[in-house]
Structure 1
Amino acid sequence: MTFETSGLHHVTAIGGDPQGNAEFYLRTLGLRLVKTTVNFDDPGTYHLYYGDGSGRPGTLLTFFPWRDAPSGRRGIGQATTTAFSVPEASIGWWERHLRERGVQTSRVVNRDAEDVLTLRDPDGLALALVAHPQGDPRDPWDNGHVPAEHAIRGLHSVTLSVSREDATAGMLTEGLGLSFSERDGNRFRFQAGAGGPGALVDVLVTPDAPHGLVAAGTVHHVAWRTPDEDTQAAWREELVDRGVQVTSVLDRQYFRSIYFREPAGTLLEVATDEPGFAIDEPLLELGRALKLPPWLEPNREQIAAALPKLDLPSENNPESRS
């Protein structure tokens, strides 16, 4: 394997009502909406990007929210849990905060020396908050609802559900350059580089589970980082030479992407770190206005009219909290 990812870039999921989605991720989880755009392949729905203050790779959970989308089914061939990293001493605070917000959670469990609190978003998407004992140096977004000392630092890991681990493990190690880290029963952990929050994936072997159905409340795909377009192009060529069916390079405006599936069926992406979310609006105004790529801009009036109304909480903008 010539190329190695440095970690997670983003996770994209299917949501339901976009207003409820924004309220939960901005006010309950305390993330920032860093881009309000549309699904470039289906501009009849939003594409909402949540992350830290600037939307750095490794902090992003994004959504295609269809208001009338049917519920999906978690299962084999999917990323079945998306985990965020929080400070080690903050799990108790999050338990109280979520309870006050009416969100049901699991009891805190300790797994691989990390405290884990699981929950679901309004559409049933499985989430976890994980406190890593060595901490997480990434700066948080402070939106007023979640104090900075407790705030989410970014993605921690994803869990892929499979019926057997060998073929998926081969794709992770030989296709993405990850290395096997440890095993805990039927859970196999792989890491990018030295590992740690934002560079982890767990492969959960559940042979009796049903196959997943991608719809509301499930993950659509998992994206991994590559530094630039030249590396991505060479990486794509290597994957194709290995017999992997890979898309052409697609322009996602804020990064470039290629897509392919791991053997169990989960859709994976390799996305560039650049150019980032500040290319079409100032950093202080991220997420405030509907942004469209140049090829959709001529149809702005029709696209905007077809989208449901979305009222963003004022605290998404830094100047409103000063």
Structure 2
Amino acid sequence: MNLKPLKGQHHVSAITGNAKKNYDFYTKILGLRLVKKTVNQDDTSVYHLFYADERGNPGTDLTFFEFPNAGQTRLGTNSISATSLRVPKDASLEYWKHRFVDHEIEHNDISYESGRATLSFKDFEGQRLILVSDENNVGVASGKPWEKSPIPKEHAIVGLGPVMFTVARLEATANVLTNLLGFRQKDSYTLDGYSVQVFETGEGGTGAEVHVLERNDLPVERQGRGSVHHVAFRVENQEELLKWVDVLKDIRVPNSGFVERYYFKSLYFREANGILIELATDGPGFEGDEPFETLGEKLSLPPYFENQREAIESRLKPLETKE
């Protein structure tokens, strides 16, 4: 079957135990725009918050499910162990380092990984994040910062960078990335004494890489507050996504089949070490149910949940997102 290469990161979805603190951190500290306040479509009793560039362009979305009763993450293998966020240039990391000091955000020193300047840090729940410089990027284009962000445009976060997998069996994950998903092995580097393999797809570059760290000396990660739920990679449209549905069916990989998410269309499966991967279409996007100017200000529900709005809202703790 003639499949087009995946286009890079689409979104990363993580877990929080507190939507209000999460909203404050990602909008007021990191300066991202909340482009959609909606619910987890598989459990409408909890919020699903989408933070991104000015309009939630594909490749810029960091999303969170709010599970108030979630326990703390037990770190380990077979996990998405870090999410990178792109900033325009090396000098931006100095800006962010000072900002993290001012706001007492846990962070490390600036370092260089796979030829890029990086700055790792954690949010209030221990979510593992890395700022990565786009100064030398020659791959997938970045997003566009929201003009009302508290962060100066020249230093603002402009999308998702490399996603890190930590796995017990490198060969098994590498096989899925290359032989099934069409990634190319690009590079390798050492992190804390362990080898990391770099894979890229599509145009490559900061927004189209997966970094895979092999650690077979750790327990399997237990997800909770501060962990990543899944990563989604970009496919161009629904026609292309349906081809992937057929491919996974033909090779008998257990999967969700086609899933309607309204803001995009999806397909889910687990790779060989158990990490949940989604393939998602670039569109339709987030402006089908609210205008660009007021994205994220009200609770948005896909049309197929609209008749349940009263019941859904009654189960959610109010979250004020209109500044």
| Structure-1 residue corresponding to 2:157 | 152
CA distance in 1, matches of 2:38, 2:144: 25
CA contact (8 A) 2:74 2:221 kept: yes
Q: 1:134 maps to what in 2? A: 136
Q: Is residue 2:295 matched to residue 1:281?
A: no
Whichever residue aligns with residue 271 of structure 2, its letter is E
List gaps (5 residues or longer) in structure 2: none
For 1:184, which of 189, 192, 210 is the aligned residue? Answer: 189
Secondary structure of the equivalent of 1:124?
coil
Residues 41-56 of structure 1: matches in 2 within 5 Å? 41-56=42-57
Q: Which residue of 2 aligns with 1:212?
A: 221
Superposed displacement of residue 99, structure 1: 1.2
Q: Quick one: distance in 1 between partners of 2:236 and 2:164? A: 24
8 Å contact 2:162–2:208 — kept in the other structure? yes
Partner of 2:111: 109
CA RMSD of aligned residues (A): 1.4
CA deviation vs aligned residue, 1:20-73 (integer Å, no higher than 9, x gap): 000000011110000000011111100000000110110000000122321122
* Aligned counterparts of 1:268 and 1:285: Cα–Cα separation in 2: 30
> TM (normalized to structure 2)?
0.94
Equivalent residue number for residue 126 of structure 2: 124
Structure 1 distance, partners of 2:160, 2:271, is: 21
**What CA distance in whole angstroms lies between the structure 1 residues aligned with 2:315 and 2:263?**
23
State percent identity of aligned pairs: 39
Would the aligned equivalents of 1:223 and 1:271 in 2 still touch at CA under 8 Å?
A: yes
| 2:85–2:132 CA contact under 8 A, matched in 1 | yes
Residue 221 of structure 2 aligns to which amino acid in structure 1? G
Q: Deviations over 1:72-126 (max 9, x none)?
A: 2232111110000112221000000111111010011111121111111111110
Measured after TM superposition, the shift of residue 168 of structure 1 is 0.4
Q: 2:13 is matched by which residue type in structure 1?
A: T
Q: Is the 8 A contact 2:108 2:121 kept in 1?
A: yes
Gaps of 5+ in 1: 315-322
Moved over 3 A (4+): 135-138
Quote how far apart the aligned CAs of 1:2 are. Answer: 4.1
> What's the counterpart of residue 7 of structure 1?
8
How many residue pairs end up in the alignment?
314
Aligned 8 A contact 1:36 1:48 in 2: yes
Aligned counterpart, 1:82: 83
Contact 2:59/2:143 (<8 A) preserved: no
1:129-278 equivalence runs, <5 A: 129-135=131-137, 137-185=142-190, 186-278=195-287
Amino acid at match of 2:105: V
Return the offset for 1:160: 0.4
Q: For 1:234-271, what per-residue CA distance to the aligned partner results, in whole angstroms no more than 9, with x for missing partners? A: 11211221221111211111001100011011000000
Does the 8 Å contact 1:17/1:68 carry over to 2?
A: no
Mapped partners of 2:301, 2:234: distance in 1 = 23
Once residues 144 and 55 of structure 1 are traced to their aligned partners in structure 2, the CA distance between those partners, rounded to angstroms, is 14
Verify the 8 A CA contact 1:157 1:200 in the aligned structure 2.
yes
